[in-house]
């Protein structure tokens, strides 16, 4: 085979092929997303894959814009493959929001594209679930999005204690930075949001210096980042790491690495030692929601900070009412890197040790629609790619075993009954998934084909049975066969699948 063709046939790295048994696992997640959203009363919408590059640059920030797939069409317009849906949603709302009663509850499950380095839980294209409540400024809306996402994650197969929703307030963080007289708040927030990446990069660089190759260093650094994220105080044991003298020290240094890297980055942005110390200490406040509120209130803070705290206190009440408070913690280091967030923000993280990346993330973006000229329309929403959740569920072995969609195989014994068998298959398809192969195959080949596909039942159509208006029903698992009147076939089969 030509070497170029061989490379082409591998497909583009970071893009995925979904064979039926693979796609069935993803569909299991998609079904959870669709079904839970509908149960919460959300309406499905979609948008175009292509958007103007300026829309993304203007609303999602330059950092995301650099990760987009860009193209220029024949009219010389600069376009991108959509990297996320929120800017597109804002555009839709600006154009047509008058038609819909508020609040609007919409969801979508589009394919989005980012030209970034592939790694576990991150690919160049993925399906991203989005759910948004538009038109109401109330913490109850944020709580509902958190409850909806919690239900999806649990419906897909994760259990209480295997994941956590970390919650903060972008408003609270910004007001506190203002109180510290920090001018470049957005840059500081990006540093806070990138704490995990700082830890991972520092460990990766250290491992390379110790002689590990680049790919091995990256994998190990990602593993340490997962530990930092889920067990920063090293309350668990990690024998595979502890047994290696060149790796073990990192376990006790994760918080030290975090502090050094974050404080260095803040210093490079011109913050004073006092500003650096108070900012970093603030990001360490995390845990039980009420305890976090008490800790923040004990600090020297401004009246504007107190107003933001009151919204967090109201959120606790709604989370408790929706029975998801036990799945939540407050974490003053959660910032969400995108520029359009204005209030409560949240991230769902794995607690099983499978993946370091967030399962889902979102928050309040009250000014995004307004910035497009659509009037003041508050909004809050979540984004959840399927890749991280799939990786976790796969590691936990939570997916049901793959089953062929067909439940019945109609087999014609001879060519002179093919037409009757085809008609029977068509009638059965009103209630069942049916395979029928009118290719002149012998019965032995059809039995083998049905067995290879693990189809539960075969209906054997033969001339002698048809003379009595009957067919033969075969249980493919046990091999048992019985003749049955065609008039009773539908009802008898329905009983077998009850």
Model confidence pLDDT, tens digit, residues 96-140 = 988 999 999 999 999 999 887 766 656 889 999 999 999 999 999
The most confident of the ranges 17-31, 67-81, 205-219, 354-368 is 17-31
Q: What is the reported pLDDT for 312? A: 97
| Residue located via tokens 């980012």 | 114
Burial of 358 (0-12, 13-18, 19+ CB in 10 A): buried
Q: Is the pLDDT assigned to residue 61 strictly greater than 60?
A: no
Cross-strand partners of 412 = 461
Q: Provide the pLDDT for residue 64.
A: 60
The pLDDT of residue 63 is above 70: no
494 vs 270: CA distance, rounded Å: 72
- What local confidence, expressed as pLDDT, does residue 245 receive? 82
pLDDT at residue 121, as a whole number: 58
pLDDT at 240: 83
Mean pLDDT (whole number) for 13-29: 93
What is the chain's alpha carbon radius of gyration, rounded to the nearest angstrom? 28
Q: Are strands 408-412 and 457-461 parallel, antiparallel or unpaired?
A: parallel
Mean pLDDT lowest for which of 185-189, 241-245, 373-377, 450-454? 373-377
Mind listing the pLDDT tens digit for each residue in 405-432? Answer: 999 999 999 999 999 999 999 999 999 9
Tens digits of residue pLDDT in 475-487? 999 999 999 999 9
Residue 238 pLDDT level (bands cut at 50, 70, 90)? confident
C-alpha pair distances (Å), 351 with each of 166, 257, 327: 12, 21, 11
pLDDT tens profile 168-223: 999 999 999 999 999 998 899 999 988 888 989 999 998 999 888 988 888 888 88
Model pLDDT for residues 307-360, shown as the tens digit of each residue: 999 999 999 999 999 999 999 999 999 988 667 788 999 999 999 877 778 899
Average pLDDT, the chain: 91
Tell me how crowded residue 442 is: count the other CB atoms within 10 A of its CB: 11
- Is residue 226 very low, low, confident or very high in pLDDT (cuts 50, 70, 90)? confident
pLDDT, position 232: 64
Q: What is the pLDDT of residue 304?
A: 95
Q: Which residues pair with 132 in a beta bridge?
A: 106, 381
Could you give the percent of the chain with pLDDT greater than 70?
96
56-85: average pLDDT: 82
Q: What is the pLDDT of residue 421?
A: 97
- pTM for the model: 0.89
pLDDT at 38 over 80: yes
List pLDDT tens digits, range 184-195: 988 999 999 888
Q: Are 152 and 140 in contact (CB under 8 A)?
A: no
Whether residue 66 is predicted with pLDDT greater than 60 in this model: the reply is yes
Q: Compute the distance between CA of residue 60 and CA of residue 38 in angstroms, rounded to an integer.
A: 28
Q: What mean pLDDT do residues 28-37 have?
A: 98
Cβ pair 194, 356 in contact under 8 A: no
Tokens representing 83 are: 């990297």
């Amino acid at each position: 085979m030509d070497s170029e063709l061989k490379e082409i046939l591998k497909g583009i790295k970071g893009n995925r092929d979904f064979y039926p048994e693979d796609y069935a696992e993803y569909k299991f997640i998609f079904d959870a997303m669709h079904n839970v959203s509908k149960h919460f009363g959300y309406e499905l919408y979609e948008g175009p894959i292509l958007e103007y590059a300026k829309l993304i640059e203007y609303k999602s920030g330059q950092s995301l814009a650099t990760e987009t797939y860009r193209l220029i069409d024949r009219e010389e317009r600069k376009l991108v493959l959509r990297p996320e849906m929120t800017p597109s949603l804002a555009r839709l709302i600006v154009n047509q929001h008058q038609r819909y009663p508020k609040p609007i509850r919409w969801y979508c499950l589009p394919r989005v594209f980012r030209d970034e380095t592939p790694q576990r839980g991150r690919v160049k294209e993925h399906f991203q679930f989005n759910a948004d409540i538009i038109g109401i400024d109330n913490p109850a809306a944020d709580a509902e999005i958190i409850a909806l996402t919690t239900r999806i994650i649990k419906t897909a197969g994760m259990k209480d204690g295997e994941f956590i929703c970390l919650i903060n307030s972008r408003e609270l963080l910004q007001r506190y930075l203002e109180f510290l007289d920090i001018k470049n708040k957005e840059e500081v927030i990006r540093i806070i949001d990138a704490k995990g990446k700082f830890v991972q990069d520092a460990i990766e660089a250290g491992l390379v210096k110790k002689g590990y190759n680049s790919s091995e260093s990256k994998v190990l650094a990602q593993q340490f980042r997962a530990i930092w994220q889920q067990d920063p105080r090293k309350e668990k044991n990690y024998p595979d790491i502890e047994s290696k003298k060149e790796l073990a020290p990192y376990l006790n240094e994760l918080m030290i690495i975090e502090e050094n890297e974050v404080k260095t980055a803040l210093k490079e942005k011109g913050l004073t030692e006092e500003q650096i110390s108070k900012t970093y200490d603030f990001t360490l406040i995390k845990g039980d929601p009420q305890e976090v509120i008490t800790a923040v209130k004990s600090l020297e803070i401004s009246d504007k900070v107190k107003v933001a705290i009151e919204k967090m206190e109201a959120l606790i009440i709604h989370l408790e009412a929706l029975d998801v408070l036990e799945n939540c913690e407050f974490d003053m280091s959660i910032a969400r890197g995108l520029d359009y967030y204005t209030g409560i923000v949240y991230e769902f993280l794995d607690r099983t040790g499978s993946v370091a990346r967030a399962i889902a993330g979102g928050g309040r973006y009250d000014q995004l629609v307004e910035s497009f000229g659509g009037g003041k329309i508050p909004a809050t929403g979540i984004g959840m790619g399927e890749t991280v959740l799939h990786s976790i569920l796969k590691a936990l072995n939570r997916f049901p075993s793959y089953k062929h969609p067909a439940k019945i195989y109609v087999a014609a014994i001879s060519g002179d009954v093919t037409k009757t068998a085809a008609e029977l298959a068509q009638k059965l398809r009103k209630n069942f998934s049916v395979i029928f192969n009118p290719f002149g195959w012998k019965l032995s080949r059809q039995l083998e084909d049905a067995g290879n596909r693990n189809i539960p039942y075969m209906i054997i159509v033969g001339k002698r049975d048809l003379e009595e208006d009957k067919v033969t029903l075969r249980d493919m698992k046990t091999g048992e066969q019985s003749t049955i009147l065609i008039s009773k076939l539908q009802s008898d089969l329905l009983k077998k699948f009850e």
